[in-house]
C-alpha cells in the first residue's frame, strides 16, 4: 500500500517570497500533477490541514475542484487556518467527514493500513489542542483494532520541534497523546503538517513525521524570534510505502524537482 501526504496548501493566499509572490493555487495544481504522475500511483492521498487560508466558501469550492483532479481517493482534515463549516460543506459529498458540527475525526477502513484522522484545531487560534474528549475518541478508536497496523494523521505535531515560533503555536495535550500511543504498538507512524518543514522524531514507540508544504516553506529558525518569513526551499509531498514484511518506509518526493 502507498499513502501520499500533502499538507499546508494555504489555497487562496498570495505569499511574498525572496523570488516574488507565490500563488498557492498554482502550487496546488503542480502538486496534483506531481501526485498523478507518481509510478506506481498512491492508493490514497491524505491532506493534513491548512487546506485554505482564512478564506470563505468560494475558495473552498475552488480548492475542492483542484483536488478533484487527483486520480486516487483523497482524505482531508482541518488545520488552524481552516474553517470547519466551510471545509465540511465543500467535502461533505465524499462521505467520510462526520456531520453535526463537532470535531472532524474519522477512521478509514478497508486498506492494509488502518487510517485515523485526528482534528487538532481550535477555532480562531493558531495553536492546536488534544483535549480530553479528543484523546478519549482516539483511544477508543485504537482499542477497536489493536492488532491492525495503523497510521494517524493530524495537523499540529504533538511534540516540541525546537523552532520557538512554532512551538508557541504547537499542540496542547501532546504528552497525553503520547501516553495513549505508547499503549498501542501497532501505530506505524503519525503524519503531521503545520511547520512547513521536514521533521522526524522517534516518539512513544512510533515515528512522527512532519511534511513540507505544497507551496512555501519556513526556515530552520532555532533561535527565538517574533516572526518568521517564507523561504524558497522546495515543496514536497510524503510517500509512504507499506509492506507487511518491512513496515512503513517514508520518502519525500519534491514537487518542483527537475
Burial of residue 136, with CB atoms counted within 10 A of its CB: 0-12 exposed, 13-18 middle, 19 or more buried: exposed
So what's the pLDDT on residue 225? Answer: 85
Q: What rounded mean pLDDT belongs to the chain?
A: 95
- Structure confidence by residue, pLDDT tens digits, 152-175: 999 999 999 999 999 999 999 999
The separation between CA 97 and the C-alpha centre of its own chain, rounded to angstroms, equals 15
So what's the pLDDT on residue 257? Answer: 67
- Say what the pTM is: 0.96
pLDDT band at 238 (very low <50, low <70, confident <90, very high): very high
Q: Report the C-alpha gap between 71 and 152 in whole angstroms.
A: 23
- Structure confidence by residue, pLDDT tens digits, 97-113: 998 889 999 999 999 99
The yes-or-no verdict on residue 247 having pLDDT over 70 is yes
- Structure confidence by residue, pLDDT tens digits, 167-219: 999 999 999 999 999 999 999 999 999 999 999 999 999 999 999 999 899 99
Mean pLDDT to the nearest integer, 50-62 = 92
Domains (range + CATH), the chain: 2-254 (3.60.21.10)
Burial of residue 255, with CB atoms counted within 10 A of its CB: 0-12 exposed, 13-18 middle, 19 or more buried: buried
Amino acid at each position: 500500500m502507498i499513502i501520499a501526504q500533502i499538507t499546508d496548501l494555504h489555497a487562496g493566499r498570495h505569499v511574498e517570497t525572496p523570488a516574488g509572490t507565490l500563488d498557492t493555487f498554482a502550487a496546488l495544481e503542480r502538486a496534483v500533477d506531481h501526485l498523478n504522475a507518481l509510478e506506481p500511483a498512491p492508493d490514497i492521498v491524505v491532506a493534513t490541514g491548512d487546506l485554505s487560508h482564512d478564506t470563505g466558501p468560494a475558495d473552498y469550492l475552488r480548492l475542492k475542484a483542484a483536488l478533484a483532479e487527483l486520480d486516487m481517493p483523497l482524505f482531508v482534515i482541518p488545520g488552524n487556518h481552516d474553517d470547519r463549516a466551510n471545509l465540511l460543506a465543500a467535502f461533505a459529498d465524499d462521505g467520510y467527514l462526520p456531520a453535526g458540527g463537532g470535531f472532524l475525526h474519522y477512521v478509514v477502513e478497508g486498506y492494509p493500513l488502518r487510517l485515523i484522522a485526528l482534528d487538532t484545531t481550535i477555532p480562531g487560534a493558531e495553536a492546536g489542542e488534544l483535549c480530553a474528549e479528543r484523546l478519549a475518541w482516539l483511544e477508543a478508536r485504537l482499542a477497536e483494532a489493536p492488532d491492525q497496523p495503523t497510521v494517524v494523521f493530524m495537523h499540529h505535531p504533538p511534540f516540541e520541534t525546537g523552532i520557538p515560533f512554532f512551538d508557541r503555536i504547537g499542540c496542547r495535550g501532546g504528552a497525553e497523546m503520547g501516553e495513549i500511543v505508547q499503549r498501542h504498538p501497532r501505530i506505524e507512524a503519525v503524519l503531521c503538517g503545520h511547520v512547513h518543514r521536514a521533521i522526524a522524531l522517534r516518539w512513544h514507540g512510533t515515528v512522527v513525521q512532519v511534511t513540507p508544504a505544497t507551496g512555501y516553506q519556513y526556515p530552520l529558525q532555532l533561535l527565538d524570534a517574533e516572526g518568521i518569513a517564507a523561504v524558497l526551499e522546495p515543496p514536497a509531498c510524503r510517500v509512504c510505502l507499506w509492506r507487511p514484511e518491512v513496515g512503513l518506509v517514508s520518502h519525500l518526493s519534491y514537487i518542483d524537482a527537475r
